[in-house]
């Protein structure tokens, strides 16, 4: 994996040094700032680091996607800063949850407690589980940015393919203006090309024996009973909690329940 030399991993901190140091890793299309509301709600209990993963937000673009490479890059970034004084808690959602799991399995000395949000350590692509994301990426690729003068134009043009206003708003956080022109901040072409890899999960031959909270959305298909055995083989101290009324984006759909679960688990 290579990154542009002037665009390494970008992050932002929320909270003061008295809180438990906690790293948040977002999902596909996301950015670290997606967790700002939760991080602020958890002050002073947590001191949070909101990370933009490679090919997202302000972080560098790469020429391929590989969970081991991404986890190693995050580990190096943390080891040189936020985790320099010892292990930290890590919270990862969806794609970020897979990065968080690989990080814990490969670099257990950096991770104290782990929270995996609505994803499993399995190949979701094999069962057609990436279909929703294929649709969203293809919808963004079809959007004619030359016809976008204002952000509202993009919202209107995207509405036919993505009727859910909340999802459109989330996706359009990736749209940035440069002078009179608009561009995508995320590396959408690479993410679409590597979607099968993003849906997969590497075989690492390791386990992580620290406490793990596995948060699942009640209405989401990404955590299933048949995934339980694999999860507990890799993370034997896992506790599964299902968040009622939540789909895949647990932290935005049920923010109070999400914050409450993190506060109880990460300050125990």
Pick from 133, 127, 262: nearest CA to 201:
127
pTM over 0.85: yes
- List of the chain residues with pLDDT < 70: 1-7, 125-130
The three-state secondary structure class of 47 is strand
What integer pLDDT is reported at residue 126 of this predicted model?
Answer: 62
Q: What is the pLDDT of residues 68-89, one digit of tens each?
A: 999 999 999 999 999 999 999 9
H/E run at residue 103: helix 95-106
**Strand segments (E) across the chain:** 10-14, 20-25, 46-52, 88-93, 111-117, 175-178, 181-184, 212-217, 238-243
CATH number of 10-122+201-266: 3.40.50.1820
What residue segments make up the domains of the chain, in order of their start? 10-122+201-266, 131-192
Which distant-in-sequence residues (6+ apart) come within 8 Å of 12 by Cβ? 32, 33, 49, 50
Distance separating alpha carbons of residues 252 and 35, to the nearest angstrom: 9
Cβ-count burial 77-100 (b if 16+ within 10 Å, e if not): bbeeebbeeebbbbbbbbbbbbbb
């Amino acid at each position: 994996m290579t990154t542009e030399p002037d665009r390494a991993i970008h992050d932002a901190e929320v909270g003061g040094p008295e809180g438990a140091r906690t790293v948040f890793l977002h999902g596909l299309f996301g950015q670290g700032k997606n967790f700002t509301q939760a991080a602020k709600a958890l002050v002073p209990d947590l001191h949070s680091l909101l990370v933009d993963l490679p090919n997202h937000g302000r972080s560098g673009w790469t020429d391929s996607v590989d969970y081991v490479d991404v986890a190693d890059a995050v580990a190096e970034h943390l080891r040189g800063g936020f985790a320099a004084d010892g292990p930290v808690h890590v919270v990862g959602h969806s794609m970020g949850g897979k990065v968080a799991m690989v990080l814990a399995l490969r670099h257990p000395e950096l991770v104290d407690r782990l929270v995996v949000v609505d994803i499993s350590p399995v190949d979701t692509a094999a069962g057609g589980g990436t279909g929703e994301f294929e649709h969203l990426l293809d919808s963004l690729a079809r959007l004619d940015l030359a016809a976008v003068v204002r952000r509202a134009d993009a919202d209107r043009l995207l509405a036919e393919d993505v009727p859910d206003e909340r999802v459109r708003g989330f996706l359009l956080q990736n749209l940035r203006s440069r002078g009179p022109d608009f561009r995508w901040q995320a590396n959408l072409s690479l993410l679409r090309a590597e979607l099968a890899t993003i849906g997969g999960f590497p075989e690492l031959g390791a386990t992580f024996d620290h406490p793990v909270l596995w948060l699942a959305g009640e209405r989401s298909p990404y955590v299933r009973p048949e995934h339980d055995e694999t999860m507990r083989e890799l993370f034997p101290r896992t506790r599964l909690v299902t968040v009622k009324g939540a789909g895949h984006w647990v932290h935005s759909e049920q923010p109070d329940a999400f914050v409450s679960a993190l506060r109880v688990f990460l300050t125990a």
